[in-house]
Amino acid sequence: MDEYPLRINSPSPSLSLSFRRGAKTKRWYDVDLIPTKTFAPIEDSGHPVCIALDNTTSEYLVSACQSNVSIFKVDRPPDDGSVPPVLFTEFTSPPNDSVVDVSWFPYDNGLIISSSHTGKVRLWESAFLRTIDTIDLKENVYCHTMSKRLSTRHSSLAVAREHGVSLLDVFTGTAMQTLSTGRIRPRSLLWDEYNEFCLFGGLEDGSILQWDIRRPTAQVVIPPGRGKCAVNQLNLMGADVLVYTTEDGFLNSARSRNGELVWRSELEFECCAGFKAAIIDDTSFPMIVLPFAENVIAFNLDDGTQAWTKPCLGFEADSIVYNPNRSELYVLQGSTSVVHGFCI
């Protein structure tokens, strides 16, 4: 990739992270996060949205703000204390067309997918950060997802929009079909890594649906919850276990086949929309790491007990991703769009 001359923000003050074991944990080990580097965007980068690590080499990190996208090389040495982006682009579209989600192509780090509030889904060539295709759904979009594993039978991108889930063919740029959510807004989507036709959707009423995209109807895995409890984060652990958060402040684990609750842990805070959690599954004790305000909290995925927590990072954390090749966590600072890297 060619490098662009950029103005780099001053590096943030060094952060000393010393995690303590949670009071309810059953794991007798200590976790220390060692600050490694800071990924700094250019000035006036807009409100941060999310970050994503490429699925093929885990060498590139994309950071999306409302009006621009930056790409960082994670092993690049810091420049004056921070790592500048290797590529950067600004949008010329109006503010109400701001990005809401960004992701890498599943098996090609030369392509990036973004979606926006106004329903525009864009395919980017990452080597030059230029748009090569745009699909306009003409209504509000909340998120999108494409299976991280190569599907041999379809090339579908699932997009959660105002009145259902659209399946788009990323190679032809056409909308193939719409999956009904019963007029309930979908808030999170997840492809099954073990069945290329299976798609899960977390809805605004707290329910979780499962589709076989070859059929028009959905199966209700988790029935609607009480009150306002939208499913904002949805993950799959193993072949039959879902892990998800709801807005009423709970982290849940349930069987994807029958909805049987495996465990339920109280988070003591409400999970806001748009945040991203990280799954650490390359260790003996798989964990999910959640950001909230100035907190980072990890839970054991086998029983839902709290593994460790840090009450105050010194900044508001919006999204977290995990790099298994480098055993690093990348934490998005919500106020400045700076991404902090920590080695576990």
Per-residue three-class SS string for the chain? CCCCCCCCCCCCCCCCEECEECCCCCCCCCCEEEEEEEECCCCCCCCEEEEEECCCCCCEEEEEECCEEEEEECCCCCECCEECCCEEEECCCCHHHCEEEEEEECCEEEEEEEEECCCEEEEEECCCCEEEEEEECCCCEEEEECCCCCCCCCCEEEEEECCEEEEEECCCCEEEEEECCCCCCEEEEEECCCCCCEEEEEECCCCEEEEECCCCCEEEEECCCCCCCCEEEEEEECCCEEEEEECCCEEEEEECCCCCEEEEEECCCCCCCCCECEEECCCCCCEEEEEECCEEEEEECCCCCEEEEECCCCCCEEEEEEECCCCEEEEEECCCCCEEEEEC
Q: Which pLDDT does position 18 carry in this prediction?
A: 31
Please, what are the averages of pLDDT over each run of 10 residues along the chain (344 residues)?
A: 30 33 39 79 70 91 84 87 84 67 87 89 88 89 82 80 89 83 92 89 94 88 81 84 87 91 84 76 82 82 87 73 91 82 83
pTM for this entry: 0.84
Q: Are 289 and 276 in contact (CB under 8 A)?
A: no
Contacts of residue 213, defined as CB under 8 A and 6 or more positions apart, other chains included, come to 154, 156, 167, 177, 179, 197, 198, 199
Q: Determine the pLDDT at residue 80.
A: 75
CB atoms inside a 10 Å sphere around CB 253? 22
Contact (CB, 8 A) for 200 and 209: yes
Residue type, 293: A
Residue 305: burial class (beta carbons within 10 Å; 0-12, 13-18, 19+): middle
Closest CA to 319 of 306, 330, 308: 330
pLDDT value of position 8: 26
